[in-house]
């Protein structure tokens, strides 16, 4: 299977146009998923300290480097700084901890996971990350100084943000010595983020589209949520026209919007299917049909962060 094409980020670094998500990819499965994905042409891996699986992902990556399938410089490994490590002097040690988990010397991109800082009031529980943690006021520009130190030290090739509004991103851009190259946000047909993508693009910031299928396995899913439906008749008829599945149509739509989708899968067939989207384009009529799904239907709310002044999804 062919590799995803690349885009050039504002710091001249090449970034693949599709990656593998790894949240909820469990121990015992994620290593196989990563290795299979590398065999299928994936080069971008989206990770986070929060997901609790960096060690196993790193093992899969190192095995594929050792067997000669890929070299380290062909890969684009992304991980994220969790909310409880926003103090400037915590950033470099936390990045180093992720590297130790992976067994790697550097990450290609290090992201501030949320614009909200939290303080632990008890032990950190990776499975219930918002437990024992309270939001507090902390300027993420201070956190950004620590992110810049990661680049200075060569432990992160590029730095960026996740779940930042345009205004929050602008505050970082205005203060930055080293500019953010990425904002990772939810982008789906139900939440197509056209204005955020344009705002970022105009400022040289690439958008990564998380939860491209609306995160169907999210633990907080409730009946009545505005879910993305892979069985939607409109989607199915577009898929039929191109000989593609509805999931492939969605991923292609996100690429056409200018975003980099990072679908999570631990299923070999779906891992293969999700990267097989670079041999077709959606015409104007189908792009319009895809646009018609947009309904501000967000899947990831992080309600636990609502009390913060920096909560990004205020109405
Ligand atoms: N920065 C942030 O705050 C966030 C980042 N993320 C990142 O984005 C990634 C993707 O988002 P995520 O929330 O996991 O959800 P996705 O929208 O990627 O959906 C993943 C789910 O869809 C299933 N699936 C995958 N491919 C297909 C397919 N072709 N057809 C049908 N079902 C499919 C998967 O099951 P199966 O594995 O069985 O195939 C899994 O249950 C995360 O894994 C994480 O890396 C996500 C949320 C927040
Ligand atoms: O990446 C993510 C996955 O899930 C978390 C919740 O447990 C989110 O907060 C986070 O943004």
CATH code where residue 256 lies: 3.20.20.100
pLDDT at res. 79:
99
Q: Is residue 41 part of a domain?
A: yes
Ligand 2 atom closest to the CA of 129, numbered from 1: 7
**C-alpha closest to that of 255 among 289, 215, 212:** 212
Rounded distance from Cα 212 to ligand 1 centre (Å): 7
Ligand 2 atom closest to the CA of 304, numbered from 1: 9
Residue owning the nearest CA to atom 9 of ligand 1: 21
Q: Is residue 18 part of a domain?
A: yes
Q: Is residue 315 part of a domain?
A: no
pLDDT at res. 131:
83
Q: Is residue 312 part of a domain?
A: no
pLDDT at res. 126:
77
Q: Which structural domain range is residue 175 located in?
A: 6-305
Residue 19, phi then psi, degrees to nearest 5: -140, 175
Number of separate domains in the chain: 1
Residue owning the nearest CA to atom 2 of ligand 2: 23
Rounded distance from Cα 24 to ligand 1 centre (Å): 8
Residue owning the nearest CA to atom 6 of ligand 2: 302
Q: Is residue 181 part of a domain?
A: yes
Would the CB of 217 count as within 6 Å of ligand 1?
A: yes
Q: Is 51 an active-site residue?
A: yes
**C-alpha closest to that of 115 among 164, 167, 151:** 164
Q: Is residue 314 part of a domain?
A: no
pLDDT in tens, the chain (315 residues): 678 999 999 999 999 999 999 999 998 999 999 999 999 999 999 999 999 999 999 999 999 999 999 999 999 999 999 999 999 999 999 999 999 999 999 999 999 999 999 998 888 887 788 888 999 999 999 999 999 999 999 999 999 999 999 999 999 999 999 999 999 999 999 999 999 999 999 999 999 999 999 999 999 999 989 899 999 999 999 999 999 999 999 999 999 999 999 999 999 999 999 999 999 999 999 999 999 999 999 999 999 999 999 999 997
Looking from the CA of 229 toward its CB, the CA atoms found within 13 Å total 10
Would the CB of 263 count as within 6 Å of ligand 1?
A: yes
- How many Å apart are CA 183 and CA 46, to the nearest integer? 13
Run of H or E residues at 61: helix 54-66
- How many Å apart are CA 305 and CA 288, to the nearest integer? 34
pLDDT at res. 224:
87
Q: What's this model's pTM, rounded to 2 decimal places?
A: 0.98
Q: Is residue 310 part of a domain?
A: no
100, 119 contact by CB (below 8 A): no
């Amino acid at each position: 299977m062919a590799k995803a094409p690349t885009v050039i980020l504002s710091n001249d670094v090449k970034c693949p146009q599709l990656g593998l998500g790894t949240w909820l990819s469990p121990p015992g499965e994620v290593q196989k998923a990563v290795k299979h994905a590398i065999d299928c042409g994936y080069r971008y891996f989206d990770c986070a300290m929060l997901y609790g699986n960096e060690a196993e992902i790193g093992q899969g990556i190192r095995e594929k480097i050792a067997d000669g399938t890929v070299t380290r410089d062909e890969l684009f490994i992304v991980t994220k700084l969790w909310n409880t490590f926003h103090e400037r002097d915590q950033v470099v040690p936390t990045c180093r901890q992720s590297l130790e988990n992976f067994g790697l010397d550097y990450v290609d991109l290090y992201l501030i996971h949320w614009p909200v800082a939290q303080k632990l009031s008890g032990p950190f529980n990776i499975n219930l990350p918002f437990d024992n943690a309270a939001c507090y006021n902390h300027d993420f520009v201070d956190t950004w100084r620590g992110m810049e130190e990661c680049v200075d030290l060569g432990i992160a090739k590029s730095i960026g943000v996740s779940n930042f509004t345009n205004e929050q991103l602008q505050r970082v851009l205005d203060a930055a010595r080293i500019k953010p190259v990425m904002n990772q946000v939810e982008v789906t047909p139900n939440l197509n983020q056209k204005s955020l993508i344009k705002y970022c693009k105009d400022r040289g910031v690439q958008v990564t589209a998380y939860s491209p299928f609306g995160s169907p396995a999210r633990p907080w899913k409730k009946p009545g949520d505005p879910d993305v439906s892979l069985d939607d008749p409109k989607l199915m008829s577009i898929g039929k026209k191109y000989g593609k599945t509805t999931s492939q149509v969605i991923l292609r739509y996100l690429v056409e919007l200018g975003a980099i989708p990072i679908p999570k899968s631990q299923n070999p067939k779906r891992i293969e299917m999700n990267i097989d989207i670079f041999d077709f384009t959606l015409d104007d009529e189908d792009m319009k049909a895809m646009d018609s799904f947009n309904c501000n239907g967000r899947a990831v709310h992080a309600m636990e962060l609502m009390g913060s002044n920096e909560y990004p999804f205020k109405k």
